[in-house]
C-alpha cells in the first residue's frame, strides 16, 4: 500500500510502501518520542522515497548520537527519521501521513532501550 505524508508546512514530502493494514506501529516512551508525539511505522530504506524537502531537513542528535532525528527547519515537524533500533529503515511518524491508516500499536520501552531492542529481536 503506497502512502504519502510530510511535515506541516509541506516542504518535506515523502512516499512509502506499507504492508496492508493493520500496519504495525511502535509507541515509544523515551524522552524524545514522548515530547514529539511520534508514533513509529518502520519502513525499509528501499520502500521509502523522499519526494521534496531534502534541503529543509535538519537533524538533532543526543545520547549515543546514533539516531538522526530529522525535522523540517521551517515548521519544526519531525515526519520521519533514522532510528537507532532499525539501521536499515526509516521510522515514519504515522501522525504525518496524509490519510490515517489502521494500525496495530505495540509499546516500545525506549526508556530501557537496550532491553526493549533485544525483545524486538526475540519476537522475530
Ligand atoms: Zn515543514
Strands (E), the chain: 2-6, 13-17, 23-28, 39-44, 48-52, 57-60, 69-72, 80-81, 89-93, 103-108
How far, in Å, is the centroid of ligand 1 from the Cα of 39? 18
Q: How many CB atoms lie within 10 A of CB 44?
A: 12
How far, in Å, is the centroid of ligand 1 from the Cα of 122? 37
Q: Is 76's pLDDT higher than 70?
A: yes
How far, in Å, is the centroid of ligand 1 from the Cα of 76? 6
Share of the chain above pLDDT 90, in %: 86
pTM equals 0.91
State the pLDDT at residue 124: 62
What confidence tens digit (pLDDT) does each residue in 34-66 have? 999 999 999 999 999 999 999 999 999 999 999
How far, in Å, is the centroid of ligand 1 from the Cα of 72? 5
How far, in Å, is the centroid of ligand 1 from the Cα of 12? 6
**Mean of pLDDT over the chain:** 95
Give 124: exposed, middle or buried? Use CB within 10 Å, 0-12, 13-18, 19+.
Answer: exposed
State the pLDDT at residue 122: 80
Amino acid at each position: 500500500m503506497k502512502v504519502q505524508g510530510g511535515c506541516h508546512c509541506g516542504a518535506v514530502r515523502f512516499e512509502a510502501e506499507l504492508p496492508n493494514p493493520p500496519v504495525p506501529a511502535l509507541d515509544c516512551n523515551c524522552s524524545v518520542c514522548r515530547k514529539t508525539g511520534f508514533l513509529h511505522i518502520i519502513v525499509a530504506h528501499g520502500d521509502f522515497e523522499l519526494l521534496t524537502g531534502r534541503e529543509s531537513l535538519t537533524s538533532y542528535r543526543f545520547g549515543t548520537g546514533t539516531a538522526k532525528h530529522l525535522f523540517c527547519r521551517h515548521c519544526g515537524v519531525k515526519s520521519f527519521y533514522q532510528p537507532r533500533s532499525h539501521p536499515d529503515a526509516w521510522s515514519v511518524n504515522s501522525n504525518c501521513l496524509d490519510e490515517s491508516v489502521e494500525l496495530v500499536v505495540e509499546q516500545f520501552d525506549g526508556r530501557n532501550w537496550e532491553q526493549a531492542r533485544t525483545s524486538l529481536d526475540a519476537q522475530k
